Amino acid sequence: MPIAFITGITGQDGYYLSKFLLEKGYVVHGTIRRSSTFNTSRIEPLIAKYSKEDNLILHYSDLLDSSSLSTLISTINPDEIYNLAAQSHVAVSFNNPVFTTQTGTLGSIALLESIRSLNKKIKFYQASSSEMFGGKSNEMLSEASPFDPRSPYAASKVFAHNITKIYRDSYDIFGVNGILFNHESPHRGETFVTRKITRAVSRISVGIQSKLTLGNLDASRDWGFAGDYVEGMWLMMQHENPDDWVLATGESHTVKEFVEEAFKIVNLNSSDYVETSEKYFRPNEVDFLLGDSQKAQNELGWKPKTSFKELVKIMVESDLELAKRESVLIKEGLLSPTWDNS
Ligand code: NAP
Ligand code: G4F
C-alpha cells in the first residue's frame, strides 16, 4: 500500500485529500499541532473509520520543528509528502507576519532537506497559491505569469514555490508546485469570506443573526470546490515528470456576486442585511484572480467539476443544517449567539 505524509491534515484540504487517499487504499500519516482545545473536528469521521486498522496515523508536529519533521520522515519513509500546512489567512498574515513567514518558508525547506538526505525517491507536493500573482490586472493567469506578492502570506508562498523548484533542478527531487486558485467547501474555515457569508446567510435565514459585515465587496476570485482540487494534487504526484500546474475554474466572481447568490438560495434580499466595515479591508488587496488551468487539463486530465452556483448551493445547504441545530440549542439556553458584530 502506498504511504502518504500530509502536513496540515486538520485543515480544509487536509480533510479532502486524506479522505481521497484513504479511499484509494493509501496509508495516511498526518501531522497535528498540540493545542489546548481539540483541532481534529474536520477529520473525526476519518479517524473513526480508518484509525482502527492503522490506515490513518496522526503525529504531533509543527512546521517550525524541523527535527520532528525529519524524525517522522525517516521513520515513516513515505512515498509522497503533501505540504499543506500554513498560516493560510491573508489578512491575518499582516498581523502575524513573522509567524506566517516562518511557517510558510521553514516547513518546505525542512521537508525538502529531509528528502534530500534520507531518500530522494520521496515525492513532494508544495501548496502554492494564486495569491503569489498579486492580481492587479484582469488577465488570465497561468504557470507562465509573473509573481507580484502583496502580503506576507503571498511572499512566503513565493519562497516555498521557488525552493521547491530549486531542489527539483539541483538534486533531481520529484518536487511539484500546485498553484491553486481559491477553493472552498462546507469545511472551509469560517473566517474566509465564502464560509463567513454562507454561515451568516444560513443563520439570518433561521432568525438567529441579523446582519453580515464584510470588507471589500469588489474583490474578485476564481472560486472552485476543494473536493475537485485535491484530485488534481494527487494527479500531479502521479505525472511522469515533476512540474508546476495551475488548478482553477476559469471564471471569476466578485464577493458581492457570491453574497447575492447565497441570499438568493434562501429567498432573501442581500441589501437588507449586508454592511461593510473598514475592519475587514486589508492594507494591500489582491483585486482580481482568474486562472487558466489548460496545462493541468491537457497533461493531467484534470478539470473542475463543480460550478460557481453549485458551490454556493452546497455551502449554504450544509450551513443551513448547522444553523437549524444552533437555533434549537439557543432556544434551550445551551448556546449564546456571539456572531453578530463579529
Ligand atoms: P487551512 O484550512 O487553513 O489549514 C491549514 C493547516 O495548516 C491546518 O491543519 C493547520 O493546523 C496547519 N498549520 C498551521 N500552522 C502550522 C504550523 N506552524 N505547523 C503545522 N501545521 C500548521 O488551509 P487550507 O485551505 O486547507 O489550505 C491548505 C494549503 O493550501 C495551505 O498551505 C494554503 O496556504 C494553501 N492554499 C489554499 C488555497 C485555498 O483556497 N484553500 C488556495 C491556494 C493555496 P490547525 O488545524 O492546528 O490550525
Ligand atoms: O476568503 P479570503 O480571506 O481569501 P483570500 O484572501 O483570497 O485567500 C485565500 O485564497 C488564496 C488563494 O488565492 C489562498 F492562498 C489563501 O490561503 C486563502 O485560502 O478573501 C477573499 C476576498 C479578499 O479580497 C478579501 O478582501 O474577500 C475579501 N473580503 C471581503 N470581506 C473578505 C471579507 N475576506 C474575509 N476573509 N473576510 C471578510 O469579511
Q: What is the pLDDT of residues 79-124, one digit of tens each?
A: 999 999 999 999 999 999 999 999 999 999 999 999 999 999 999 9
Average pLDDT of the residues of the chain? 97
* 226 has pLDDT over 60: yes
**Cell digits of residue 289:** 484572480
pLDDT in the model for residue 284: 96
CA-closest residue to ligand 1 atom 2: 11
* 75 has pLDDT over 60: yes
Quick check: CB of 256 below 6 Å from ligand 2?
Answer: no
Quick check: CB of 12 below 6 Å from ligand 1?
Answer: yes
Atom of ligand 1 nearest to the CA of 99: 18
pTM of the entire structure?
0.97
Q: What is the pLDDT of residues 52-71, one digit of tens each?
A: 888 999 999 999 999 999 99
Contact 132, 147 (CB under 8 A): yes
192 CA distance to ligand 2 centroid (A)? 6
137-159 residues labelled b (16+ CB within 10 A) or e (exposed): eeebbbeebebebbbbbbbbbbb
Average pLDDT of the segment spanning 248-265: 98
* 338 has pLDDT over 90: no
pLDDT in the model for residue 337: 86
pLDDT in the model for residue 52: 86
Quick check: CB of 255 below 6 Å from ligand 2?
Answer: yes
Region label for 246, one of left (φ > 0), alpha (ψ between -120 and 50) or beta (otherwise):
beta
Quick check: CB of 94 below 6 Å from ligand 2?
Answer: no
Site to substitute for ligand 2 among 182, 188, 194, most atoms within 8 A of C-beta: 182
Average pLDDT of the segment spanning 211-236: 98
**Domains of the chain: residue spans and CATH:** 3-184+223-247 (3.40.50.720)
* 341 has pLDDT over 80: no
pLDDT in the model for residue 153: 98
Tell me whether residue 252 is one of the annotated catalytic residues: no
Atom of ligand 1 nearest to the CA of 40: 46
User: What HEC string does the chain produce?
Assistant: CCEEEEECCCCHHHHHHHHHHHHCCCEEEEEECCCCCCCCCCCHHHHHHHCCCCCEEEEECCCCCHHHHHHHHHHHCCCEEEECCCCCCHHHHHHCHHHHHHHHHHHHHHHHHHHHHHCCCCEEEEEEEHHHHCCCCCCCECCCCCCCCCCHHHHHHHHHHHHHHHHHHHHCCCEEEEEECCEECCCCCCCCHHHHHHHHHHHHHCCCCCCEEECCCCCEECCEEHHHHHHHHHHHHHCCCCCEEEECCCCCEEHHHHHHHHHHHCCCCHHHCEEECHHHCCCCCCCECCECCHHHHHHHCCCCCCCHHHHHHHHHHHHHHHHHHHHHHHHCCCCCCCCCCC
Please calculate the CA angle 193-33-132 and round it to the nearest 5 degrees: 45
How many Å is the Cα radius of gyration of the chain?
20
Average pLDDT of the segment spanning 26-52: 95
**What percent of the chain lies above the pLDDT cut of 70?**
99
